[in-house]
A = this chain, B = another copy of it.
Amino acid sequence: MYIGVDYYPEQWPKERWTEDVRLMKELGVNVVRLAEFGWQLMEPEEGVYDFSLYDEAIELLTKNGIQVVLGTPTATPPAWMIEKYPEILPVDQNGTVISFGARRHYTVNSEVYRDFSAKIVEKMAKRYGQHESIIGWQTDNEYGHEKSDRSYGNVDQKAFQTWLKEKYQTLDTLNEAWGTVFWSQTYTAWTQIPVPRKVFQEHNPSLLLDFDRFCADAYTSYNKLQTDLLRKHIRSEQWITHNFVYTGQAINQWDMAKDLDFISFDNYPVWGGLPEPIAPAAIAHQHDLCRSSKDGKGFWVMEELSGAQGWSSIGYLPRPGHIKLWTYQAIARGAEAIVYFRWRAARFGTEEFCHGVLDHDGKPKRKYREVKEVIDSLSVFGDDWIASEYKADVAVYYDVENAWAWGIQPQSNAFDYKHEFLRFYSPAHRMNALTDIVTKESNLDGYKVLVVPVYFLTDPLVNEKITRFAKDGGTVILSYRAGVKEQNNFVVEDTLPGALRELAGVEINEYESLQLGQNNSVEGVQGSVSGVNSVASIWCDLVEPTTAEVLAEYRSCFYEKTAAITKNKFGKGTVYYVGTALENEIMDALYADIFKDAGVTIMSSSGEEVEAVTRTAEDGSVFLSVVNHSTENKGSLTLPEGTWVDPVSEEVVKGELSLEPLAAHVFRSR
């Protein structure tokens, strides 16, 4: 498998290159990513190209047996370009032009910028498309990151209007679809339609959702501009990818993935200014998102954190063991290659406190040794492991447009989309049930349980899919705010949960949005949740069963004794409705029963910090990876039946496995 580093030869004197490459070889690196911020070097003035620096670097790496991934440099348009064509710069919601001086200072809606992008990409493709040691390409870098996904300038407005015209054909259709009759917003010319700049109140939610779709489409088409040009010139073995980050922006990775050979991901479980890493399930679900992006296909981690990160703020120092743990976690959940960010901390620039495998002094120390241990171990079993099959019983539905709709109308100040998604995803993670993220295009065959968290913005096809899944015997878990919106962000006219009403066997005739610090409480009244109490926060649906039975009830306010969780038989399947945001204990009790009934495979462990994943190798043997995310506490895992062998030490383990803090193991069944 490929394991490598992100390398910036341009940031170091050439005298150092030899030593860098020597240390990389010693480390076992077989791939480096290069050039993704090197536009100015490759096009020092308009129309003048100079690839000598990267030529030289690639030659040195090639000679040393290290292969190369090349990034197109379009995340950083050079100063000369911005000076001459300032219309490239993005504009914020107040109309403030974003300045040159950092990165991502362009709007994809600028035709000028698309032209420049096309030229540099084509030049690179022509120069390196046939190169033997260049194995693939990364387009741009982290599309949309750091609020660069939405731009509100005049070129953006014009592009938005064009996009809308394409989508709606006539203004009547658009006016109807947006409900512009509200507040007298009916448009009588395409040119009247604004981008959502600052208003006194709030924009039309249908416009906002279309604006997010437009922004995402604009990026998708911008990426396609690059992939089309690359494919024209590169040899067929070279692949194309893009390194995504998941920070809720208006980017549609599923659409974009169609133009890519596979997805890449920049894996930073902790970032500048964070006091500690995000939760294990939060990391895991990002890997699941990666796999889902191209129908289960493996992905690259194009940037894997290797040291403390930060710009003007730093934060948490990854502990000894974290490199191995996060590497194993990523591979277990689908990563096929790991590229550590970055080879060495820069001595200058905004990211000089992004620490790498080496720090500023360039000396191999603890982190270098840890990476070496990982590479050495993976050299024993890595190829087999990444070739093995990850097969999930549990599907968790995700639709990026639903996330946007929630961003537009969170409805409660306590609502955070990702947090609520994880509320319904994490019980599976805590039980080590394998999960897939599924989207509207996914095939649901083979899953036993389908979790559909906060399914606010609905899609008729998805409603149909969910219904069929249940009818055919599957188990569905629905949550509060299911079925509320139509595709154009209108509230449905049916009584809630709208199209899912019969399925769920309930009606929601009243609901309450709870604000930060406000709570109700819930008590289980039947089945596994019986007697379990929980705080209820964020949202309370007053659930009225029609055909469903009641599993839990509210315990205060005027809707005391109203149902909060229900279970309904539908066709051959079962549908649960969870009408509020509940705590782990009751969620785990609920899921335990559901998984048991549905025959979901789980692995028992000491708690949420322990994460175990099994995958089946081509020879039928099973890889079992297990990590303990806790930096302080030991953990344990009840190993599945059989004999498990550590492929490196060849030690054999069985039964109850004890795990040191930050332990990371891979075993193979004998």
Contacts and interface: CB of A to CB of B under 8 A. Distances in A.
Contacts of A146: 200-201
Interface stretch (A19-27, A289-297, A423-431, A488-496): A488-496
B202 A312 contact: yes
B515 A558 contact: no
Given A348-B489, A493-B347, A76 B184 contact: yes
Interface string A71-103: 001001111101100000010101111111111
A170 interface: no
A11 B101 contact: no
A197 B518 contact: no
B11 A198 contact: no
Interface in A163-210: 178-189, 191-194, 196-207
A363 B495 contact: yes
B491 A352 contact: yes
Interface string A407-444: 01111110000000000000000000000000000000
A101 B194 contact: yes
A275 B184 contact: no
Contacts of A79: 185-189, 192-193
A360 interface: yes
Contact of A360 (B184, B349, B492): B492
B99 A96 contact: no
Determine the main DSSP class of A at the interface with B: loop
Contact of A76 (B38, B183, B514): B183
A101 B196 contact: yes
Q: Which residue, of A80, A347, A412, has the highest number of chain B Cβ atoms within 10 A?
A: A347
Interface stretch (A40-48, A369-377, A573-581, A590-598): A40-48
B273 A515 contact: yes
Nearest to A95: B96
A631 B204 CA distance: 35
Contacts of A236: none
B96 A198 contact: yes
A152 to B, nearest CB: 9
Contacts of A205: 312, 348-350, 352
B361 A494 contact: yes
Given A80-B189, A510-B317, A514-B275, A196 B99 contact: yes
A393 to B, nearest CB: 36
Given A317-B512, A350-B201, A513-B310, A189 B83 contact: yes
Contacts of A41: 181, 184, 186
Contacts of A316: 512-513
A101 B189 contact: no
Interface in A131-157: 146-148
B353 A411 contact: yes
A504 to B, nearest CB: 16
Nearest to A16: B493
A582 interface: no
Interface residues of A, number: 119
A127 interface: no
A493 B15 CA distance: 14
Given A103-B200, A103-B201, A105-B199, A73 B184 contact: yes
Interface string A475-506: 00000000000001111111110000000000
Contacts of A92: 198
Nearest to A318: B512
A56 to B, nearest CB: 15
Nearest to A512: B317
A621 to B, nearest CB: 35
Contacts of A489: 348
A308 B183 CA distance: 20
A383 interface: no
Contacts of A408: 312
Interface string A345-385: 11111111100000111110110000000000000000000
Contact of A204 (B11, B90, B349, B362): B349
Contacts of A345: 491
Contacts of A232: none
A512 B194 contact: no
A623 interface: no
A313 interface: yes
A192 B82 contact: yes
A454 to B, nearest CB: 15
A491 B204 contact: no
A7 interface: no
Interface string A100-128: 11111100000000000000000000000
Contact of A207 (B101, B363, B514): B101
A197 B101 contact: yes
B182 A78 contact: no
Interface string A321-342: 0000000000000000000000
B490 A348 contact: yes
A390 interface: no
A178 to B, nearest CB: 7
A130 to B, nearest CB: 25
Contact of A348 (B90, B193, B410, B491): B491
A501 to B, nearest CB: 10
A73 B348 CA distance: 42
A199 B98 contact: yes
A635 B96 CA distance: 56
A511 interface: yes
Given A346-B491, A360-B491, 14 more contacts: A11-B179, A77-B184, A99-B194, A99-B199, A102-B204, A146-B201, A182-B349, A183-B349, A185-B349, A273-B413, A313-B412, A359-B509, A361-B496, A363-B495
29 contacts: A37-B182, A76-B183, A78-B184, A78-B186, A78-B188, A79-B193, A83-B189, A83-B192, A94-B96, A98-B198, A98-B200, A99-B198, A99-B199, A100-B192, A102-B201, A103-B200, A204-B349, A205-B350, A206-B348, A273-B515, A312-B408, A313-B410, A316-B512, A316-B513, A347-B493, A352-B490, A352-B491, A361-B493, A362-B493
Q: Which 3 A-B pairs have the closest CB atoms?
A: A179-B348, A182-B349, A314-B513
